[in-house]
């Protein structure tokens, strides 16, 4: 009992010891904030990746793929059906995208993904990333009359969301305008000469990049005599939003292509050797998955059309070849287990098929983030370790100061372990106070991190967190209670370790010498 009482009284009267735990407090707070932000970024990254990529991808090792998706899906369901929520076959092929801006014809390397509109919605959140509300409900690859979103509807805070004013024209209206002007004149007055920057001189507002009617893709030969671009569209395609747009620092998206525009995709045919083939597509929507890589390289088209175009359909049987099957698992299913079930299935020759998760695809980045988290934790934990030496020094001082009292306690029958207990408990109490206050401080910091970032930006007159760079409206944070528990326990263990030596010295004091100490 005397241990608790003395420990409590020492806590209340020795302010110097409280000073020593300020560094414990700061160390704990810093660790909590750093981990919350790092985990927030990782979670956001995972969420966005999983939005566009399915949980597991079952891939053919050849671009030309293998035949009969249905048979493969049946086999997958037989092996791991209990864990599977949905599956969708896709055809993935590298391609060149060509489009016109004014008289300028531009090309770009992309990846064309042929998707089955119905089943693809069950394996990824692709549908939720589209810019037209009807397409989000049900994608039909048809150009809409209008009604495309003019702000980033996925933003948590619409006030901070990216603005897309040009999208107000998107759709049939834009398409008709394009082709009307094309028919009226090859280069209408005031139109673009192909260089978007020269637009500044042509418009009153220097900062507004206004996409004007321009020479559309029809500069190349029209599809057929009876094809009327004013009323008809080519095969619909959904482009990653960054393919045809760029973002300025005021968080406004400017578009080189809008839904309604025609683009040309050049892809390899199936066969030996592959030959380049081209087809026209009409952009019907944009996919904004918030994953820079996906948004700047992926173009989605209907799978059946792509299979036809590439010659993946057996003319005699009508059975099509496919590249990969996207698999979404039931919530809580063990991804690794399903992967190994599929890999171990003797019917799936590992020389022909690859099974992986989105994490495998992002492994270099994920492992870099993981390493960064570990290093930061080690470095920041050293702060607490340094604080431990502070506690050690102050405790040794307190033990010297309390030498006579220790002698008195021993003369009253206190054991060495009892005296040791006072100082260990004292160290633990300091650890609890330091870690506790540090935890509260860290959590408050995390809770108000955006306000704090705003304040620091205002003070330093430069943005700490640039929304246009990170593509986040806010700094993402995730509080992981297990991490916090580990940090707090670590701080307490260090506080106890630092008090072991002083406590042991106190316990070893000879009572007679301690009583004589002046």
Partner 1 sequence: MSDTPSSSTPRASGRIHFSHLAATTAPSGFVGRVHEPLRRARPVESRPAILGARGVIKSYRKGALSIPVLQNIDLEIGRGEFVAVIGPSGCGKSTLLHLLATLDVPDYGEIFFEGNRIDNLAAAGRDILRNRYFGMIFQAYHLLPELTMLENVLAPAMIGESALGYWLKRRQYRERASEMLRVVGLAHRLKHKPRELSGGEMQRTAIARALVAQPHVLLADEPTGNLDKATGEEILALLGRLNREQNLTIVMVTHDREIAAAADRTVTLVDGRVQAA
Closer residue to partner 1, CB minimum distance, 29 or 399: 399
Q: How many residues bind partner 1 (CB under 8 A)?
A: 26
The residues facing 245 across adjacent strands are 255
> Which stretch in 70-78, 166-174, 337-345, 410-418 sits in contact with partner 1 by CB under 8 A?
410-418
**In the complex with partner 1, which residue's Cβ is closer, 82 or 513?**
513
Of residues 169 through 208, those in contact with partner 1 by CB under 8 A are none
**Buried residues in 429-448 as b, exposed as e (16+ CB within 10 A):** bbbebbbbbbbebbbebbee
Distance (Å, rounded) from C-alpha 369 to C-alpha 378? 14
**Pairing state between β 262-268 and 84-101:** antiparallel
Q: Which two structure tokens, joined as six digits, stand for 75?
A: 């086999």
Cβ closest to partner 1, residue 235 vs residue 414: 414
User: Considering the rule CB under 8 A, would residue 407 count as an interface residue with partner 1?
Assistant: yes
By CB under 8 A, which span of 1-9, 131-139, 358-366, 426-434 interacts with partner 1? 1-9
Q: Least distance (Å) from partner 1 to the CB of residue 420?
A: 13
Stretch that binds partner 1, among 7-15, 41-49, 57-65, 168-176 (CB under 8 A): 7-15
- The full 3-state SS of 252-273, as one line of letters, equals EEEECCCECEEEEEEEECCCCC
**Rounded Cα gap, residues 70 and 87, in angstroms:** 10
Helix (H) or strand (E) holding 511: helix 511-516
Interface region with partner 1, contact rule CB under 8 A, candidates 100-108, 209-217, 286-294, 412-420: 412-420
Of the pair 5, 371, the CB lying nearest partner 1 is at 5
Query: CA separation (Å) from 220 to 111, 162, 224?
Result: 23, 34, 12
Residues 6+ apart with CB under 8 A from 32: 438, 439, 442, 443, 445, 446, 483, 484, 487
Interface positions, 484-513, toward partner 1 (CB under 8 A): 510-512
Query: What is the β-pairing status of strands 104-115 and 298-302?
Result: parallel
CA-closest candidate to residue 320, choices 311, 333, 332: 311
Using CB under 8 A as the binding rule, whether residue 2 contacts partner 1 is answered as yes
Query: In the window 8-67, what residues touch partner 1 (CB under 8 A)?
Result: 9-10, 13
273 binds partner 1 (CB under 8 A): no
- Rounded least distance, CB 23 to partner 1, Å: 25
Kindly identify the residues of this chain, within the stretch 416-475, that bind partner 1 according to CB under 8 A: 416, 418
Q: How far is the CB of 367 from partner 1 (least distance, A)?
A: 50
Among 6, 24, 26, 69, binds partner 1 (CB under 8 A): 6
CB of 413: closest distance to partner 1 in angstroms?
A: 3
Handedness of CA 308, 313, 317, 318 (dihedral sign): negative
Window contacting partner 1 (CB under 8 A); options: 4-12, 126-134, 172-180, 453-461: 4-12
**Residue 332 beta carbon to partner 1: minimum distance, rounded to whole angstroms:** 45
Contact between 57 and 324 under an 8 Å Cβ cutoff? The reply is yes
The region of 267-275, 281-289, 415-423, 494-502 touching partner 1 under the rule CB under 8 A is 415-423
Among residues 412, 459, 460, 482, the one that binds partner 1 under rule CB under 8 A? 412
Nearer to partner 1, 73 or 419 (CB): 419
Closest CB to partner 1 among residues 153, 517: 517
281 or 395, CB closer to partner 1? 395
Strand (E) or helix (H) holding 317:
none
Q: How far is the CB of 414 from partner 1 (least distance, A)?
A: 5
For partner 1, which is the closer residue by CB, 145 or 401?
Answer: 401
Of the candidate residues 367, 411, 485, 489, the single one contacting partner 1 (CB under 8 A) = 411
| Region of residue 408 (left: phi > 0; alpha: psi -120 to 50; beta: else) | alpha
CA distance 329 to 56: 8
Minimum distance between the CB of residue 1 and partner 1, rounded to whole angstroms? 4
Q: Rounded CA gap, 288 and 97, in Å?
A: 18
**Cα 341 to Cα 257: distance, rounded to the nearest angstrom:** 44
Where helices occur in 335-460 by DSSP H, the ranges are: 335-344, 358-361, 363-401, 403-411, 416-447, 449-460
Task: Select from 100-108, 252-260, 329-337, 407-415 the region that touches partner 1 (CB under 8 A).
Answer: 407-415
Nearest distance from C-beta of residue 493 to partner 1, angstroms? 23
* Binding-residue pattern over the window 387 to 406 for partner 1, x denoting contact by CB under 8 A: -----------------xx-
Q: Shortest Cβ distance from residue 366 to partner 1 (Å)?
A: 50
State the burial class of residue 186 (Cβ atoms within 10 Å of its Cβ: 0-12, 13-18, 19+). Answer: exposed
Could you tell me the smallest distance in angstroms from the CB atom of residue 396 to partner 1? 19
Pick the closer one to partner 1 by CB: 304 or 404.
404
Q: Residue 492, class by beta-carbon neighbours within 10 Å (0-12 exposed, 13-18 middle, 19+ buried)?
A: buried
Strands 235-240 and 276-287: parallel
Per the CB < 8 A criterion, the answer to whether 306 and 91 are in contact is yes
**Residue tagged 């010295």 (tokens):** 505
Q: What's the token pair of residue 107? A: 């090309």
Give residues 95-114 in contact with partner 1 (rule: CB under 8 A).
Answer: none
Cα–Cα distance between 422 and 408 in angstroms, integer?
14
Q: Which positions touch partner 1 (CB under 8 A)?
A: 1-6, 9-10, 13, 404-405, 407-416, 418, 510-512, 515
């Amino acid at each position: 009992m005397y241990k608790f009482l003395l420990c409590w009284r020492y806590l209340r009267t020795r302010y110097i010891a409280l000073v020593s735990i300020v560094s414990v407090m700061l160390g704990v707070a810093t660790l909590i904030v750093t981990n919350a932000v790092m985990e927030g970024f990782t979670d956001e990254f995972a969420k966005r990746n999983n939005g566009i990529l399915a949980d597991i991808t079952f891939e053919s090792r050849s671009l030309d793929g293998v035949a009969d998706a249905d048979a493969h899906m049946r086999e997958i369901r037989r092996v791991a059906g209990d864990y599977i929520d949905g599956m969708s076959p896709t055809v993935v092929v590298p391609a060149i995208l060509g489009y016109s801006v004014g008289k300028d014809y531009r090309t770009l390397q992309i990846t064309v993904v042929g998707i089955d509109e119905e089943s693809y919605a069950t394996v990824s959140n692709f549908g939720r990333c589209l810019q037209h509300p009807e397409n989000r409900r049900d994608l039909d690859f048809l150009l809409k009359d209008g009604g495309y979103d003019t702000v980033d509807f996925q933003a948590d805070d619409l006030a901070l969301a990216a603005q897309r004013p040009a999208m107000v024209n998107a759709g049939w209206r834009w398409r008709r305008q394009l082709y009307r002007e094309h028919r009226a004149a090859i280069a209408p007055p005031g139109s673009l000469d192909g260089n978007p920057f020269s637009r500044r001189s042509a418009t009153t507002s220097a900062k507004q990049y206004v996409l004007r009617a321009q020479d559309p893709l029809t500069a190349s030969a029209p599809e057929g005599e009876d094809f009327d671009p004013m009323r008809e569209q080519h095969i619909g395609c959904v482009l990653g939003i960054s393919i045809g747009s760029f973002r300025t620092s005021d968080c406004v998206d400017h578009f080189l292509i809008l839904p309604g525009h025609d683009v040309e995709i050049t892809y390899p045919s199936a066969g030996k050797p592959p030959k380049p083939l081209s087809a026209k597509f009409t952009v019907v929507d944009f996919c904004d998955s918030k994953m820079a890589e996906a948004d700047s390289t992926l173009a989605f088209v209907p799978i059946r059309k792509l299979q036809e175009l590439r010659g993946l359909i057996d003319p005699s049987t009508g059975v099509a070849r496919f590249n990969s099957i996207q698999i979404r698992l039931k919530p809580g299913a063990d991804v690794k287990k399903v992967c190994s079930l599929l890999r171990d299935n003797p019917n799936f020759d590992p020389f022909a098929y690859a099974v992986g998760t989105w994490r495998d695809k992002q492994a270099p980045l994920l492992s870099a983030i993981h390493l960064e988290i570990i290093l930061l934790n080690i470095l920041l934990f050293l702060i607490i370790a340094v604080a431990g030496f502070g506690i050690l020094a102050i405790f040794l001082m307190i033990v010297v100061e309390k030498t006579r009292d220790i002698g008195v306690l021993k003369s009253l029958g206190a054991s060495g372990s009892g005296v040791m207990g006072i100082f260990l408990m004292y160290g633990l109490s300091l650890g609890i106070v330091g870690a506790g206050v540090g935890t509260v401080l860290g959590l408050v910091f995390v809770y108000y991190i955006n306000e704090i970032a705003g304040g620091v930006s205002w003070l330093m007159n430069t943005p700490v967190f640039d929304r246009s760079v990170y593509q986040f409206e806010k700094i993402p944070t995730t509080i992981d209670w297990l991490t916090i528990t580990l940090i707090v326990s670590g701080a307490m263990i260090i506080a106890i370790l630092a008090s072991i030596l002083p406590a042991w010295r106190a316990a070893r004091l000879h009572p007679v010498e301690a009583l004589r100490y002046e």
